[in-house]
Homo-oligomer: A and B are copies of this chain.
């Protein structure tokens, strides 16, 4: 396989993977492209390589920056902006975890707490509902805490986790 082909395959695969995890394809592709670029890339070049419009590039770059995993860079004497991705994988995972926790898990926890707190008539049906949603709340809370704790290690957290868990 030649470099260009490999790069393209990587970008496509990363994009498809993104879709399956609820991240829009172009966003994941831009991220992939920046991850494997050895130097910062202009919006123009991103548009060209991925064959996407200016608006699309702009919006998804903004989203990636909101996630904190892509950065703007300014080059001396250049008017236009360049972009780079976070390339440290531990850091990348930490940021993605934090964002998903904040955006999705925390709000879900809030709802779980609410719905598990209804004052139930004691029908079997309602008792089961309260019981099950309470368990779910506890479970998700615990999982969220674990994630948080793991990412606190920050540096090399996955490797450290491997050590802890394998023995």
Contacts and interface: CB of A to CB of B under 8 A. Distances in A.
Contacts of A145: 162
Contact of A166 (B7, B9, B21, B149): B149
Contacts of A146: 158, 161-162, 165
B129 A6 contact: yes
B133 A36 contact: yes
A115 B6 contact: yes
Interface residues of A, number: 54
Interface of A: 1-3, 6-7, 9-10, 13, 17, 19-22, 35-38, 87, 89, 93, 104, 108, 111-112, 114-115, 117-118, 120-121, 124-129, 132-133, 135-136, 139, 142-143, 145-146, 149-150, 158-159, 161-162, 164-166
B120 A3 contact: yes
Given A21-B21, A129-B7, A38 B124 contact: yes
A9 B115 contact: yes
Nearest to A150: B165
B118 A3 contact: yes
A3 B166 CA distance: 44
Contacts of A126: 3
24 contacts: A1-B115, A3-B121, A3-B125, A6-B114, A6-B129, A6-B133, A7-B129, A9-B111, A9-B114, A10-B129, A13-B108, A13-B112, A19-B22, A20-B22, A20-B104, A21-B21, A35-B132, A36-B129, A38-B129, A89-B139, A93-B139, A142-B159, A146-B162, A164-B164
